[in-house]
Every structure is written in structure tokens, then in C-alpha cells.
Homo-oligomer: A and B are copies of this chain.
Amino acid sequence: MTNPRRQPLGERIRSELEGRIVSGDWPPGHRVPPEHALMEQYSCSRMTVNKALSGMAAAGLIVRRRRAGSFVADPQGERAVMKIQDFASEAAQRGLVYTYDILSRRVETPDQAHAAALGLHPGSSIVRVRSLHRMNGVPSAYEDRIISLAAVPAAQEERFHDAPPGTWLLHNVPWTEAEHVIRARNAGARLAAMLGLKPAAACLVLERRTWHQGALVTVVTITYPADRHRFTGRFSPTSGA
């Protein structure tokens, strides 16, 4: 089989498997077909399949166990700075009661300048949602998010009564790339009041943009009181991080 292989077969296998994982088609714990099955499916040698799967294991996407098979890995990890965060699961880990309020929700069409800044097509619509997250009733973060309706049509009708926007997106929309910026700022009067802070208290701000195959999905700014949040990470020179 001498394919006109513009993309190497191994990479194709890997990207197809990764697609099922990042799309949620194969949830954490789902079993990946064993090597010999993929061998037949792609009519290639075992080494080729093995290299693809080994790479995914090294990247932490799957876990492989002899005799048992390969399984989609749990996405949770210690490198919290780099992970998409979810308030509900974070609260569960820390034994807190999580609640949230949707402060506002509007469908808007940004003007040209804003659309360009966001990387949206001119005239495309977004949903803008502002919300307040609480742990044990105490305000712990203010979130200002826009969601591209072009990328996420379902957001048109969603009112976020059952899950906050971040969680809803995480469970309903796949993403392939993200970028974040962490910075600090002083709280303004309104923000301070909302979060129960003294005016000018320091806040940690996380801005994150998420794409799915090149198309912007969401842009979010989350503001945390400095005394109630921190980002931690652990890494080594060989981990690729």
C-alpha cells in the first residue's frame, strides 16, 4: 500500500483518535480499540499503531495497561494553570458548596472593531454572559464571558440554569486550542462591592480564549479576589511543558 501520503499514516491515526477524545465522543475511561484492531482498520503494521498510541500516552491523553488495554485518561491534572478549570469540580475536590448567579445574559452583535479584536467575522453574533461564582456562599469569582454563536449555535437558547457557562461549554463544546493571560489588577468600586472586597483590593485576572479548529469558541475573563485564589503548576524540563 504505497499511499500518496501527504499526511503520515501514524499521524492520521493519532489525529483521528484524538478527535474522538477531544470531541467527547470517547469520554474518560472509554476503551480505545486494541492495537491489533487498529492494525487491521488502517491496514498497517503494529509499530505504526504503537507509535501513535505511545505518543498519546506520553501526552497524557490516554493511559495504557498491559493485558487490560488503552483507555481515555481523566482530564484532571495537577498542572492547574494549564487546565481548563471548572468551578463545580474544583469545589467538589475541596469539599465546598458551589453556587452561581447569572447576572446578565444578552445576545449582541459586536461592532467591527470589537469583532476584529476577537477574531470574529464582522456581523456575527455572540452571547454575553456575566456571572458570579460562590463557594459556600462567599463570592469567589466574577466571570464575564462571550460565546460565539457561529461556533456554538446551541448557546442561542441556553439560559445556563442548570450549569454555569464554563461548565456547560466544557460538556457541550469541544476545543482544540486555548490561550490564556494571567494578570493582576486593583478592583474597582463595583467589582469590589460584588466580590465583597475593600476598594482597590488586588485581584487575579485570568483571560482565556478557546478555539475549535481555528474558530473562536469563547472568550472569558475571570476575576478572583487575591486572597481567595492562586494558580499552581508543577513541571519538569522533560515534560514538554
Contacts and interface: CB of A to CB of B under 8 A. Distances in A.
Interface of A: 18, 21-22, 47, 51, 55-56, 58-61, 75, 79, 81-82, 175-186, 200-204, 224, 226, 229-241
Q: How many copies does the complex hold?
A: 2
Nearest to A199: B200
Contact of A238 (B61, B81, B202): B61
16 contacts: A47-B47, A60-B240, A61-B240, A79-B241, A82-B82, A177-B234, A179-B232, A181-B232, A182-B182, A182-B230, A182-B231, A183-B204, A184-B203, A184-B224, A204-B204, A240-B241
Contact of A233 (B82, B176, B185, B230): B82
A236 to B, nearest CB: 5
A71 to B, nearest CB: 16
Contact of A226 (B56, B179, B185): B185
Contacts of A230: 181-183
Contacts of A200: 186, 200, 202
Nearest to A240: B59
Contacts of A61: 237-238, 240
> Top 9 A-B pairs ranked by shortest CB distance?
A184-B226, A184-B184, A202-B202, A59-B240, A183-B230, A184-B204, A184-B202, A182-B231, A186-B202
A30 to B, nearest CB: 15
Contacts of A241: 79, 82, 240-241
A182 to B, nearest CB: 4
B235 A82 contact: yes
B239 A59 contact: yes
